[in-house]
Amino acid sequence: MTLSKKRAYSVLASSTFAFTICFMVWMMYAVLGIPIKKELNLNETQFGLLTAMPVLSGSLVRVPLGIWTDKYGGRIVFFTLMMASVIPIYLTQFSTEYWQFLVIGLFVGLAGGSFSVGTPYVARWFHRDQQGFAMGIFGAGNAGASLTKLIAPSIIALYGWTMLPTVYAAMMLGTAILFWLFSYSDSSHLVTTKTSVGEQLALMKDPAVLLYCQYYSVVFGGYVALALWMVHYYVDEYGFGLKQAAFLAACFSLPGGVLRALGGYLSDKFGAYKVTWAVMWVCWVIFFILSYPQTDFTVKTVSGEQTFHLGLNATLFTLLLFGVGVAMAVGKASVFKFIADEFPSNIGAVSGVVGLAGGLGGFVLPIMFGALVDLTGVRSSSFMLLYGTVCVSLIWMHFSFKGVQSRALKSS
């Protein structure tokens, strides 16, 4: 193996590990928010906002981070970002008021911006026919969401919720040091043209970029929203304790992260267009089933009235959730295969914009989940909302691809 290949795989491994820890921190409030909700007596909407605050800042910083990665290189930007998030993570334990958790959550969320750094950083170390797979492996760091669900409940149970920020801050610091030791820089990967934030946002005028923003807001935004919401859902809908609820929620988060590499492989082999289209249809079917609330109804029969129950038990619900997690994992990778194919010299800029769109979806959806529960009292209303977004997405995709289908097929 040549030195260049060795460095490429070292960059891929160290970046994937770093992104896993960053994503774990980014999803911290999915579990941490449960005891905070009880302590502060929050309603569903307030809880949704609490869990979503890190997602907001992690999304907004993706645009400038994409630019800086193109300009200065992924290694230094990634390392600096991780170091900058250590102190806010640690300070979370000292918050006592709701507004304090919201503010500190914005700074903790900086870790979520790591995706728009690592994606172009990793991609440029590999040839075009391997970029989908490489970015898929890196994107498997989304599995950090499941690590939070597996680790955090035990820490909270043993030492209380205030210990969790200390542990996570130490993990982030150690990860930053390891990343620096095992990653490399290559000046040939830097983009010589100077791209401003305004110029990067102007990319949204490109119909293809708008299209990919729309896809990613569904497959990534929906994934983030559900990763934040499912522990709470299992606790309130099925009555599980925190540990068991978090473990079951990990059945969605884990495949939604790890199998992203599969999505990259499938996109390299069959093309991003076919893979993304199939993903949307799978999500459409599953969200339709998950949308149906627990229902009791009475039927008049010849022998009298009979009452029936219709609803998903925890086992079937978890299996369906696992299925949609797999679909979203594949879809997240296929969207970025589009970007690598069509914008090879501007991956950082475009991925920053697309990542921003996906992240904002992950910010808005948990708040809407909570608001819908407060308004309707129906917990499955969150899946009704997601079903509606996929319906809109499929219609938009159908008409959009009439103009760009041939280009998408050629590039994939």
pLDDT for 186: 82
Query: Which two tokens mark 287?
Result: 């969200």
Long-range CB pairs of 37-45, under 8 A, 24+ apart, other chains included: 37/232, 40/98, 42/98, 43/370, 43/374, 44/369, 44/370, 44/371, 44/373, 44/374, 45/367, 45/370, 45/371, 45/374
Number of domains observed in the structure of the chain: 1
CA distance 383 to 317: 12
CA distance 179 to 184: 9
Closest by alpha carbon to 272, among 135, 409, 393, 116? 409
Closest by alpha carbon to 252, among 389, 362, 149? 149
pLDDT for 82: 96
Which residue segment(s) compose the domain that 160 sits in? Answer: 3-411
CA distance 320 to 317: 5
pLDDT for 120: 85
Q: What is the CATH number of the domain that holds 267?
A: 1.20.1250.20
Q: What pLDDT tens digit does each residue of the chain (412 aa) get?
A: 677 788 889 999 999 999 999 999 999 999 999 999 999 999 999 999 999 999 999 988 887 888 888 888 899 999 999 999 999 999 999 999 999 999 999 999 999 889 889 988 998 888 877 877 787 788 788 888 888 998 999 999 999 999 999 999 999 999 999 999 999 988 877 776 555 656 666 666 777 787 788 888 889 899 889 989 999 999 999 999 999 999 999 888 888 777 877 887 888 788 777 888 899 999 999 999 999 888 888 898 888 888 988 888 999 999 999 999 999 988 888 887 878 777 776 776 777 788 788 888 889 999 999 999 999 999 999 999 999 989 887 887 777 665 545 554 454 4
Burial (Cβ within 10 Å: 0-12, 13-18, ≥19) of residue 186: middle
227 contacts 297 by C-beta, under 8 angstroms: no
pLDDT for 345: 67
pLDDT for 303: 85
Q: How far is CA 344 from CA 13, 221, 230, in A?
A: 22, 24, 36
